[in-house]
Amino acid sequence: MIKNELYPHVFRPIKVRGLTLKNRLQYAPTVVLKCSPEGDVTQEMLDYAAWQARTGVAYVTIGNTPVVHSDSSAWLCEMDVTRDRCIHGMNRLAVTVRENGAEMSVELAHAGRGSASSPGNPALAPSDVPLNGGPLGHIKAMNRGDMDFIRDSYVDCALRCRKAGLRIIMIHCAHNNLLAQFVSPLSNKRTDEYGGSLANRMRYPLEVLRAVREAVPDMVIECRVSAQEDLPDGLQFDESLEFMKRAQDYVDIMHVSRGNIFFNYGSTFTIPTYFKGRLLNVPFAQRVKQELRIPVAVVGNITSLAEAEEIIAGGKADIVVMAKSFMADEDLVHKSVRGHAQDVRPCIRCDWCGNANTYGTSMRCAINPKLGKDLNTTGIIPADKAKDVMVVGGGPAGMTAAITLADMGHRVTLYEKSMGLGGLLRDAGLAPFKEYLRLYTGWAVRAVGKSGAKVVLGTEVTPQLVERENPDAVIVACGSKYIVPDIPGIDSAKVVMAADAEGHKAEVGSRVVVCGGGVVGLECAVALGMEGKDVTVVDMVPVGDFARELAVFNKIDLMYHLEKYGVKLVGGRRVTAFSDEGVVTEAAPGMPVGGVRGDSADDAGAAEEAAPGMPSGGVRGGPSVDEGGAMKTASGDVVIYPADTYVIAMGVKPDRVLADELLSRYPEGVYVVGDCVGAGRLLADANQDAFHAAYRIR
């Protein structure tokens, strides 16, 4: 038994409509895509829900559960609660969660204008207002029959949840989903009694809430609301608060969230990016709690039990809601109550988990390969079965491999040729807005030190060293090297690497050209823009393909910050030389010939894919592109971008020399992981590779 001395308010039970919740923690609703394409509960979904419950929360909310599964689903593989044949699976899920220590709720939702649609099956919405002002769907403004049907669908699903044994449901009135679309002046342009004034705009959502309350008087109903949509014409806090005051007549918990999910700047608050600070919505929740008579829950970049304790003890909310912090470390509660909060693996806010929705794949975590899985690694290898394992490379893959192997019970030696661990993670965390990544890097280095693995720094591993040490297995995690192009002028004093520019290891002038439109180049451009530099980014690909590897909401926020700091983006130009005048470019193969405007995202036909919903007045999906002082030849084939400093951010290439040598010598026992596997790898790939390679060594 662990006595609760650190978090007295977090672990104080709360009684809501006759249901006692064991503590003040909720696992936030997330889209996990672990049901079947038809919406049936799968074994993977059961396992995931059990994993969620074991985190120690009072209740788990299954995210985005559509009330009209056939045509209101925003994503494939969401749970179906719309038919009686689903009750069996729903009940199995609720029982599984309860058997693992928590209550289960579902987030009943309708995506409205964000629903899947076709010409013959338009999305239902309060008004025909396309997403982001573009032709992104077929929309029908709801008539009275449609409104009655959707209201009855909410009621029907609530009743089915009760039949399945649930005691809590959530009604989704946030993020510009259907009910929120009625409340928001951005999406409600009706001229009848359901549009215009706030009283009219909130009329229909209140009718739905009242109908659900009347249908399930004994169930706890939680209502999720955006405090504001963070868009100029969207819902503002004063109106949202008035809606919450009226809605409390029909619900038991008010859940304060934020933003507008539909791929605009507001979405970066709904799914907080790595640019956002902590406790994002707590000030709103505190104000809501002052005005409402029912318990208030709050979500948004809450990362620890210490923060949760401060929120509840300070009277700012009654329930604290987290998801990504639990995804990053399912033992957050268990470590914290034992006084080991410093050992909690911190989320980096990369949104690799949520980006799975974009591709329709099952949710995974970039830094926690055990997410949702009942995979115990601690001490699973008996001492007499332990192997001597050599890990080569102290970057993210090597550190994860060493931590996992040592936890399993193997004898591990980690070799790193530099004098410190971290690899390219250290460079990736240099920008001032990359605090979450810096915290993770520090955690990983500490975890290696505590793991029991032997660490040998300043030693480059060769085939001869491997032969001499004769390990039972080798995990090769040599990572990658920065690409330095072999072009004229590369040795100029004006040329610096991105990491040296960000880390202030090189002098950077007031006018900068960054060569490379990937994440490294664009983050460097923002960092330099924050310092007041005049920055232009040049790349071969269209502007719409810049930072293509970045998760969608982080890309939207990155593009927002590029515009905020006046960074100019130029696509379709290949860097051919560095001269005294500037960065010399020519049109990339297949791209238009001409100046900067001719290579902008609009002219390249890539704007719409970049970041829909960005502020108007510039290139859609990125900052406006102007001539930027570029000098052209008479033919326009060559364009020179003058600058004081030329920054290289042209990507990385795998360091496969040792891996290929060992694979050719040893047919078994060699595992290649991380960046050295091939080009285009992510931190998530490194950690997933390393964990599963280590787990296979038995």
Q: How many residues are present in the chain?
A: 698
Strand, helix or coil at 118?
strand
Contacts of 36 (CB under 8 A, 6+ apart): 42, 77
Predicted confidence (pLDDT) per residue in 207-249, tens digit: 999 999 999 999 999 999 999 999 999 999 999 999 999 999 9
* Beta-strand runs (E) in 314-437: 319-322, 388-392, 411-416
Q: Which of 135-144, 178-187, 488-497, 618-627 has the lowest mean pLDDT?
A: 618-627
Q: Among candidates 632, 533, 530, 628, which has minimal Cα distance to 587?
A: 632
Percent of residues, the chain, with pLDDT higher than 90: 86
| Rounded Cα distance, 50 and 98, in Å | 8
pLDDT band at 392 (very low <50, low <70, confident <90, very high): very high
Across the range 659-681, mean pLDDT stands at 96
DSSP, collapsed to helix, strand or coil, labels residue 63 as strand
What's the whole-number mean pLDDT along residues 567-581?
97
pLDDT score of 71:
57
- Sign for the pseudo-dihedral over CA of 580, 581, 586, 587: positive
- Separation of alpha carbons 608 and 468, rounded Å: 57
Percent of the chain scored above 70 by pLDDT? 92
The angle, 0 to 180 degrees and rounded to 10, between the axes of the packed helices 352-359 and 552-564 is 110
What integer pLDDT is reported at residue 89 of this predicted model?
A: 98
pLDDT, tens digit (0-9, with 9 covering 90-100), for 608-659: 233 333 333 333 334 444 445 676 664 568 999 999 999 999 999 999 999 9
What separation in angstroms does the CA of 470 have from each of 107, 384, 409, 465?
Answer: 55, 18, 19, 8
Q: What is the pLDDT of residues 341-372, one digit of tens each?
A: 999 999 999 999 988 877 778 889 999 999 99
Nearest CA among 82, 42, 89 for reference residue 65: 82
Could you tell me which residues are beta bridge partners of residue 105?
A: 61
Higher-pLDDT residue of 380 and 69 is: 380
Question: Residue 117: is its pLDDT beyond 50?
Answer: yes
pLDDT tens for 185-194 read: 999 999 999 9
Q: What's the burial of 614, exposed, middle or buried (CB within 10 Å: 0-12/13-18/19+)?
A: buried
Q: Which of residues 589 and 327 earns the better pLDDT score?
A: 327
Torsion of CA 561, 566, 570, 575, to 10 degrees: -100
Res 590: pLDDT: 78
Please say if the pLDDT value at position 139 is more than 70: yes
Report phi then psi at 668, rounded to 5: -135, 155
Instruction: Look at residue 637 in the predicted model and tell me its pLDDT.
Output: 85
pLDDT confidence of 680, banded at 50, 70, 90?
A: confident
- The predicted pLDDT at position 606 comes to 27
Segment 58-91, tens digit of pLDDT: 999 999 999 998 755 567 889 999 999 999 999 9
Task: Look at residue 441 and tell me whether its pLDDT is greater than 60.
Answer: yes
Q: For 292-314, what is each residue's pLDDT tens digit?
A: 999 999 999 999 999 999 999 99
Strands (E), 461-560: 473-476, 480-482, 495-497, 511-515, 534-538
Instruction: Assess contact for 78 and 66: CB atoms under 8 A.
Output: yes
- For position 624, what pLDDT does the model report? 40
Residue 513's alpha-carbon distances to 97, 375, 494, 566, 599, in angstroms, are: 54, 47, 10, 13, 16
> For residue 599, what pLDDT is reported?
36
Mean of per-residue pLDDT scores for the chain: 92
Asked whether residue 481 carries a pLDDT value surpassing 50, the answer given is yes
- Report the SS3 class of residue 7: coil
Residue 38 has pLDDT above 70, yes or no: yes
pLDDT at 614: 36
pLDDT for the residue numbered 108: 98
What is the widest separation between alpha-carbon atoms in the chain? 82
Closest CA to 80 of 95, 64, 92, 94: 64
pLDDT digits (tens, 9 = 90+) for 2-29: 898 899 999 999 999 999 999 999 999 9
Residue 272 has pLDDT above 50, yes or no: yes
Above 90 in pLDDT, residue 331?
yes
pTM of the model: 0.93
